[in-house]
Structure 1
Amino acid sequence: MKTERAKEILLQLLKIPSPSGQEDRLMLHIMEFLHRLDYDVKIESDGEIIDLVVNPEAELFYEVHVDTIPIRAEPFVRGNIIYGTGASDIKGGAAAILLMLEELRKEGKDLNVGIVFVSDEELGGRGSALFMERYRPKMAVVLEPTDLEVHIAHAGNIEAYFEVDGKEAHGACPESGVNAIEETYKMLEELKKLEPFKAKGEFFDPHIGIQELVCENPVYLIPALCKGRLEARLLPEQEVEDVLDLMDPILDEYTKSYEYTEIWDGYRLEPDEEIVQLAKKAMEKTGLDEFGGMRSWTDAINFMYNGTRTIVFGPGNLDISHTKFERIDVRDVVTASEFLKALNEIYGGSEPKE
């Protein structure tokens, strides 16, 4: 039964911890899995990063990262639901690919697409960058948790670390000091008023917020310094440089210092593009019907920046990924595998392209 086999494959992946920088054991497990199926595996490495490539000459690639955030929850099973760090992001997607490859061998069918398992997505995206330095496929499917939606749009992003200073005073004398925490929230309110963050999008809305804030205050004082991290999500059509021009004056006014650490534009694919049309046919074949947009950074950005037309797709839910409650329905892993298999067959010509 496919569901039980998918469960076995995913649990094997989850039982091998693979936080970013510690992917070696899991890569070895995947390589051995592929060798048992008699697939040739090419190892790409720069001495630090490891990628595994199957069918390197292909023009359509399936890409999935095998690293996770540091382990927050150990794997366990409750019926068809599998819990654990990486279950949703994105070892469920890796399991879907492995299940597809196993099914193709059993059925004696060809692998028409390329497969790449990459490292370091959660930290710096160096695995996909290394792959794109050495390969330039025409199209790609990047596996990420999308709730089985095919994402044809991708958010842009701005990340900034900042320091906001104030003025120390005794905690009972707020009128004599300047509260750095309050100044930080004033800054955030000003940023939220900017026109780009009041826009509406088709798949998601833009957003700006504080995701880290440290204000040490070991004695009873009005806090004089806050350090933190801002994250801004942009619509695919919003230009990052235009938004930065609006943010800079506010950050100049409120912060002691700030540094942009991540900046990228989003994108949206057109309905008539080949990868979208191929995906649509595979969706029809497997009963999927939802298009969407990816809200988080993914390796798709590295692919698109290098000219590879890329959709994002996978089992799992982005909202609960990275949380202590991360989990996935193994039946969605099977559905994802069936979609990938259908796309492989359509692309290879065993299904009519019309």
Structure 2
Amino acid sequence: MKDDVVALAAELVGISSLTGNEGPIVELVSKRLIKDGWNVTLQEVSPGRANIWASRAGGGVCFSTHLDTVPPFLPPRKEKGKLFGRGSSDAKGIAAAMLVAADRLVKSGEDRVDLLFVVGEEKGSDGARAANNLSATSRFLINGEPTESKLASGAKGSLRATLRTRGRAAHSAYPHLGQSAIEPLLELLPTLRSVNWPKDATLGDTTVNIGVIHGGSEANIIPEHAEAELMFRLVSDVEEVKSKLVEWVDGRAEIEYGSYIPSQYFHTVEGFETGPVAYTSDIPLLSAWGTPLLFGPGSIHVAHTPDEFVPVDELRASVDVYERLARSLLAE
């Protein structure tokens, strides 16, 4: 395994692995791990896509992150102390740091180390859901997402919800014959900010984003349907948010709930800087892999953007942090 984490990260970033098309990067990483003497299990998630589980003695610490990225593919480039490219921050730089840290631990004689690289995290987390059915033996799971090199104390959860309003179609020249579905939705949505959503002393405020709006079919037809897709970032029990949403809607729209991930608090280790994060991860879906921790170089603020990057010095330093974290946990 390359011990230059920056070169390895650039190599991984240079392989397109958009969600659903992770096959080439899975092949490269798994072959490297086999060559370096790991016991490698490829768990097929769907045709051409697989999770990678690399193990040795087991019973210790598992490093885990995802190999897929959001579109579009952006090739790697180094500039002004930063490694740019899709996945540099989220999460191929992290994968590279974990690979190098695990290799160091093994070379020092510590073989209670596992690696779990999953597919599909950016869209539905089908890889993590499948991985939780593997026969994991680790006591601790160090999951990797960009936390700005802080050990995450907790993470907000998420809830998707769709609001639908219905009307009656008519020719737009005769609006009195129809009923718009769009107008009541436009009246409803601006009042969303007035709701007193739950707060948490550690995780902060519940937030909600109106991410997608659909409505109508043609400008000359009174619209008979409209909908808005909402994404909540949760800091409390999901039922409290659902109750407030139902009260706010007050029968003015239909509500359909989508995917849900609960908020969580994570294990922390003395001597490491900590702080909460607002995004979700695969951790709630990997309950079989041990007590969870969350750590990674880079910032979520640049993830998914055209200028995604990870600072080179921070990436190099993260290898040492992963190694120290693992040794601290193995000593518990």
What per-residue deviation string (whole Å, max 9, x for no partner) do you get for residues 12-37 of structure 1?
A: 10111111121111011111222333
What is the aligned partner in structure 2 of residue 296 from structure 1?
Answer: 279
Does residue 160 (structure 1) correspond to residue 156 (structure 2)? The answer is no
1:212 Cα deviation from its structure 2 partner: 1.2
| 1:47-62 to 2 correspondences below 5 Å | 47-48=46-47, 49-55=49-55, 57-62=58-63
In 1, Cα distance between equivalents of 2:306 and 2:322: 29
Decide whether the 8 Å contact of 2:197 with 2:244 is kept in 1.
no
What is the aligned partner in structure 2 of residue 324 from structure 1?
Answer: 306
What is the aligned partner in structure 2 of residue 265 from structure 1?
Answer: 262
Counterpart residue type for residue 324 of structure 2: A
1:95 Cα deviation from its structure 2 partner: 1.2
What is the aligned partner in structure 2 of residue 112 from structure 1?
Answer: 112
TM-score for the superposition, normalised by structure 1: 0.81
In 1, Cα distance between equivalents of 2:298 and 2:194: 33
1:210 Cα deviation from its structure 2 partner: 0.6
Select the structure that is richer in helix.
1
Give SS of 1:134's match.
Answer: coil
Decide whether the 8 Å contact of 1:69 with 1:122 is kept in 2.
yes
Q: Residue 251 of structure 2: which of 253, 256, 260 is its match?
A: 253
Does residue 276 (structure 1) correspond to residue 264 (structure 2)? The answer is no
> CA 1:99 to 1:215, structure 2 compared with 1: closer, same or farther past 3 Å?
same
In 2, Cα distance between equivalents of 1:344 and 1:202: 25
In 2, Cα distance between equivalents of 1:171 and 1:329: 55
Give SS of 1:230's match.
Answer: strand
Give SS of 2:185's match.
Answer: helix
Give SS of 1:276's match.
Answer: coil
In 1, Cα distance between equivalents of 2:195 and 2:175: 29
Bigger shift: 137-146 or 66-75?
66-75
Decide whether the 8 Å contact of 2:152 with 2:268 is kept in 1.
no
Decide whether the 8 Å contact of 1:61 with 1:113 is kept in 2.
yes
TM-score for the superposition, normalised by structure 2: 0.86
Bigger shift: 30-39 or 181-190?
181-190
Counterpart residue type for residue 306 of structure 2: K
1:321 Cα deviation from its structure 2 partner: 1.3
What is the aligned partner in structure 2 of residue 91 from structure 1?
Answer: 92
Decide whether the 8 Å contact of 2:142 with 2:292 is kept in 1.
yes
1:82 Cα deviation from its structure 2 partner: 1.9
1:163 Cα deviation from its structure 2 partner: 2.5
What is the aligned partner in structure 2 of residue 338 from structure 1?
Answer: 320
Give SS of 1:314's match.
Answer: coil
What is the aligned partner in structure 1 of residue 32 from structure 2?
Answer: 33
Decide whether the 8 Å contact of 1:104 with 1:110 is kept in 2.
yes
In 2, Cα distance between equivalents of 1:267 and 1:101: 26
What is the aligned partner in structure 1 of residue 123 from structure 2?
Answer: 123
| 1:68-217 to 2 correspondences below 5 Å | 68-71=69-72, 73-104=74-105, 108-136=108-136, 137-166=138-167, 180-197=181-198, 199=199, 201-216=201-216
1:150 Cα deviation from its structure 2 partner: 0.8
In 2, Cα distance between equivalents of 1:167 and 1:160: 24
> CA 1:325 to 1:169, structure 2 compared with 1: closer, same or farther past 3 Å?
farther
What per-residue deviation string (whole Å, max 9, x for no partner) do you get for residues 107-134 of structure 1?
A: 5442432111111111121222222212
Q: Tell me the percent identity.
A: 22
In 2, Cα distance between equivalents of 1:103 and 1:140: 18
> CA 1:138 to 1:252, structure 2 compared with 1: closer, same or farther past 3 Å?
farther
Counterpart residue type for residue 67 of structure 1: D
What per-residue deviation string (whole Å, max 9, x for no partner) do you get for residues 167-221 of structure 1?
A: 6678799999766455334333444333225x35434321012111233564256
Select the structure that is richer in strand.
2
> CA 1:93 to 1:175, structure 2 compared with 1: closer, same or farther past 3 Å?
farther
What is the aligned partner in structure 2 of residue 239 from structure 1?
Answer: 237
List alignment gaps of at least 5 residues for structure 2.
Answer: none
What is the aligned partner in structure 1 of residue 297 from structure 2?
Answer: 315
> CA 1:39 to 1:258, structure 2 compared with 1: closer, same or farther past 3 Å?
same
List alignment gaps of at least 5 residues for structure 1.
Answer: 270-274, 284-288
RMSD: 2.9
> CA 1:103 to 1:251, structure 2 compared with 1: closer, same or farther past 3 Å?
same
